[in-house]
Structure 1
Amino acid sequence: MTWKNWLLLALLSLIWGATFPFAKVAVAEVPPMTLAFLRVAIAAGVLHAVLRMTGQGFPLSRRMLGAFLLMGLLNNAIPFSLIFWGQTAIPASLASILNATTPIFTVLVASLVFAQEVLRAHRIAGIVIGFAGVALLMAPALDFGPLAALSGAPLWAQALCLGAALSYAFAAAFARVFKGVPVMVAAAGQLTGSSLLLLPLAIWQAFAWQGEGWSPVATGPAAWISVAALGTVCTAFAYLIYFRLLSEAGATNASLVTLLIPLSASLIAALFLDEVLTLPQLGGMALLLMGLAVLDGRILALPGRLLRAVRAS
């Protein structure tokens, strides 16, 4: 990758890492499904404006509209709602670490459910190491062994974040239906689809939240700033960066952002939310990132490349 690609990758990791602290601030006052709807609706509006400015058309065929709805369900509506709901009870840093299991679930779904990929040895090793990290993260909440004394985050909230990662994995497998569709159109379409799906749930939860209902007027400026940032910067603008990185550096290099998001999210949460990672969270993150590196495969190929370079010189 060029130095510009590396800068884009770093910027994207910071933006997507900031998603979790912004969400933590917002869910303190905004119901999770309502927040998910506001995020996708704002982002959809921004991307549709970009499409119009760039002269790109938006397909309105029944087949494409159905695909947008399903992709919006799997890639936005379900995972955003689950993560935001989980973040009502767990720190932003922990949510970002659990979300990093997405590539592991993606490989499992693609290979075992849809037979789109082959489970090679290094991928199996990466999956095992990654899930060992997840087990370490969740051990305190299970009240099991010496880690129980560390009073882990609620198990249900962590399970919601893992459910979001699984939904992302199914979305990645389904995304092949958009082959040949401009990525900007696909992004705007799925965000539009998820907005339509979330609207009735967002209204219901806004009226029923905590038995008293949610009041937009009573919501503070910090929460509203977080909502705006989630929709514009962390979703719409982040998609624009990601698509440029995809076109310039390829999907494999763009996927490196997965390794960086937990680090940037934890750093931002520590600086602005005073969050501190526990020992199980640090250990779990280290194992998970190691598993992702092994799953990616390039770190294993590095010694061979260095040896060939030495021989060539």
Structure 2
Amino acid sequence: MTPLSSVPPSMRMKDWFVLTFLSSLWGSSFFFIEIIIRDIPTITLVAIRLILSAVILYLILLISGKNLRLDKSLVVAFFVMGLLNSILPYSLIAWGQHYVSSGMSATLIASTPLLTVIAAHYLTPDEKATANKIIGVIVGFLGVAIMLKDQFSVDDSELLIGKIAMIIAASCYASGAIYSKKVSKYGMSPIETATGQMAAGAILLTPFALVIDQPWLLPTPSLDTVLAMLGLVLLSSVLAYILFFKLMKTAGVTNLILVAFLIPVSSIILGVLFLNENFTLAHALGMLFIGVSLTIIDGRALKFLRKAH
């Protein structure tokens, strides 16, 4: 039995609504990236995303009458979060999407909750795995596997490389979420944390973009690319991370990271509607499993069934 003090926070209905909205914001990032990579190289894409996000977040911070604290321990934390939550996963996803579809990318990223539940159980004092959470995550992971059941072939080495990139990105997100939980002890507001993370990521990556891609030599991007970049920055980065850090305080990291199970749904729908990707029976069945997994993890549906009997 897990001591009461180590039980993860319960999700309120408001939290589930925010979680679902957050999944649509992050799900759309795969759609935006699919468009942007046609014109902009991976490192430059990620650097632009981080720079613009950091500038916008900092302006919002200033307008709200606050400033960014920069003592030594916080600066180190920002750089670690910038690496784990931004540079590595953003770069791996953008690079991997040269080889796999946006829908498959989002589906592979959905392995994040399983990795996070395991890591959080051992690395945090108040996010121990419960029976509901373990069963729910396994059911959700089965849903992800069903979505990918026709795509496990390793005959295509480039496709395999793309898949591996997404799994590593999921591991980065899981590690980053656990580390971000530890950083919450500093008492920063969600917008402070998001600003620091994005700014640190921009500082680390921009020199590499300048040296490797020489972006000033690239052709002028199309209007679609510019609009996709704005969507990626404003919706999938700025707004998404403000909600992410805000929700972490009320829902806990293992509950919050369940957003990864919902991301494939919005990503696949966008891919079908705008990128001519196929929607299959496996996708529908996988989404059903994911829905069931979330109700198990939430626990309210099981309590209702017990009372009904």
Q: TM-score, normalised by structure 1?
A: 0.80
Q: Structure 1 residues 153, 108: closer, same or farther in 2, change over 3 A?
A: farther
Q: Does 1:36 align with 2:43?
A: no
| Shift of residue 110, structure 1, vs aligned partner | 1.2
Q: Structure 1 residues 105, 289: closer, same or farther in 2, change over 3 A?
A: farther
| Shift of residue 279, structure 1, vs aligned partner | 5.1
In the aligned structure 2, how far is the partner of 1:64 from the partner of 1:6? 30
**Among candidates 89, 94, 101, match of residue 111 of structure 2:** 101
Deviations 1:44-101 (A, max 9, x none): 1100000100111211211111110001111111111111111111111111122222
| Shift of residue 276, structure 1, vs aligned partner | 0.8
Q: Does 1:129 align with 2:110?
A: no
Question: Equivalent residues in 2 for 1:252-291 (5 A)?
Answer: 257-278=259-280, 280-288=282-290, 290-291=292-293
Partner of 2:218: 216
Moved more, 287-296 or 96-105: 287-296
Task: Say how many residue pairs are matched.
Answer: 295
Q: Does 1:233 align with 2:238?
A: no
Identity %: 31
In the aligned structure 2, how far is the partner of 1:57 from the partner of 1:298? 40
Kept after mapping to 1: 8 A contact 2:23/2:262: yes
Question: Equivalent residues in 2 for 1:22-171 (5 A)?
Answer: 22-112=32-122, 117-136=127-146, 140-143=150-153, 154-171=159-176
| Shift of residue 122, structure 1, vs aligned partner | 3.2
In the aligned structure 1, how far is the partner of 2:139 from the partner of 2:15? 29
* Coordinate RMSD, CA, aligned: 3.3
In the aligned structure 1, how far is the partner of 2:21 from the partner of 2:128? 32
- Structure 2: which amino acid aligns with 1:251? A
Q: Structure 1 residues 214, 129: closer, same or farther in 2, change over 3 A?
A: farther
Deviations 1:193-239 (A, max 9, x none): 111111123224414xxxxx884334322222212221122211233
In the aligned structure 2, how far is the partner of 1:168 from the partner of 1:222? 28
Q: Structure 1 residues 286, 202: closer, same or farther in 2, change over 3 A?
A: farther
In the aligned structure 2, how far is the partner of 1:273 from the partner of 1:215? 28
**Among candidates 21, 35, 38, match of residue 31 of structure 2:** 21
Q: Structure 1 residues 172, 36: closer, same or farther in 2, change over 3 A?
A: same
In the aligned structure 1, how far is the partner of 2:76 from the partner of 2:12? 38
**Among candidates 176, 183, 196, match of residue 189 of structure 1:** 196
Moved more, 40-49 or 132-141: 132-141
Deviations 1:81-133 (A, max 9, x none): 11111111111111112222222211111124566643333333334334444
1:90 alignment partner, SS class: coil
Moved more, 36-45 or 135-144: 135-144
Q: Structure 1 residues 255, 74: closer, same or farther in 2, change over 3 A?
A: closer
- Structure 1: which amino acid aligns with 2:136? G
Q: Structure 1 residues 133, 11: closer, same or farther in 2, change over 3 A?
A: closer
| Shift of residue 258, structure 1, vs aligned partner | 4.0
- Structure 2: which amino acid aligns with 1:70? V
In the aligned structure 2, how far is the partner of 1:233 from the partner of 1:194? 18
- Structure 2: which amino acid aligns with 1:177? V
